[in-house]
Amino acid sequence: MAPLLEIKDLHASVGDTPILKGINLTINAGEIHAIMGPNGSGKSTMSYVLAGRDGYEVTGGDILMNGVSMLEMESDERARAGMFLAFQYPVELPGVGGMSFLRAAVNARRIEAGEDEIDQLEFVKLVRAKAKHLSINDDMLKRAVNVGFSGGEKKRYEILQMALLEPVLSVLDETDSGLDVDALKIVSDGVNLLRDPARSMLVITHYQRLLNHIVPDYVHILAGGKIRRTGGKELALEVEESGYVGIDDAA
């Protein structure tokens, strides 16, 4: 069986600037992988390339999800195929009601899967149940998407979307940034609830802190657009001790 995600010699540019310079990474079903790296190493670029954002051009290599190349798929097609990106900076959508947004997203996946659209009442119940785990109250649900949310609320709202969409592969882009200890705990607990033998996660972070809560199976160090080292969760602790200095040379 093909791995859940296979990234092969991936090269990508933003404008004329090459950022990713040959990434190789294989994630099997049920695994959590962490990607750590210094600022400017290409971590966020990698998350956008995986999600299919316009302007992030793949110049070589391939991304396969369950054996199928995603390079020709638009971002919405990738999402419906089971890819989810939790944004580092969730986007405010003034005037777009939260519930109708969540429902449109859930229905898009259901229609893709050949299911009926979700019943309105059933949907409200579902959202409330998932929101409770993440300490998201009705007032937050009623507001426009991310508008007037604090940094922590935005991150929790990302995880709520993840919980509703039940993605096959979740990419968490610096989900810990801007979170205090309590918020980090809520978000991590929410993510851990979604651990499942059929699902995988790619956790992108600058700091080791998040990995105490979301414990990875593998840790990769990204620097200069390449994965320089791969190890177990202890690699994160090592980086925490000695920083990223010397990582480039090790490659």
Q: Which residues pair with 56 in a beta bridge?
A: 14
- Check residue 51 for interaction with another protein (CB under 8 A): yes
Buried-state track 85-120, b at ≥16 Cβ within 10 A, e below 16: bbbbebeeeeeeebeeebbebbeebeeeeeeeebee
Select from 2, 96, 129, 251 the one that contacts another protein (CB under 8 A).
96
Q: Which residues pair with 52 in a beta bridge?
A: none
- Check residue 79 for interaction with another protein (CB under 8 A): yes
Please give the size of the binding site for another protein, defined by CB under 8 A.
Answer: 29
- Check residue 182 for interaction with another protein (CB under 8 A): no
Give the torsion sign (CA, 77, 83, 89, 91).
Answer: positive
Q: How far is the CB of 104 from another protein (least distance, A)?
A: 5
- Check residue 175 for interaction with another protein (CB under 8 A): no
Select from 112, 189, 217, 240 the one that contacts another protein (CB under 8 A).
112
- Check residue 138 for interaction with another protein (CB under 8 A): no
Select from 9, 40, 53, 59 the one that contacts another protein (CB under 8 A).
53
Select from 58, 64, 141, 144 the one that contacts another protein (CB under 8 A).
144
The DSSP letter of residue 237 is H
- Check residue 130 for interaction with another protein (CB under 8 A): no
Select from 161, 200, 205, 208 the one that contacts another protein (CB under 8 A).
161
Three-class DSSP labels, 94-110: EEEEHHHHHHHHHHHHH
Select from 62, 76, 115, 119 the one that contacts another protein (CB under 8 A).
76
Cα–Cα distance, 152 to 180 (Å, whole number): 8
Q: Quick one: CA torsion of 125, 127, 132, 136, rounded to 10 degrees?
A: -130
Nearer residue to another protein within complex by CB, 78 or 228: 78
- Check residue 114 for interaction with another protein (CB under 8 A): no
Q: What would the two tokens of residue 130 be?
A: 């998932």
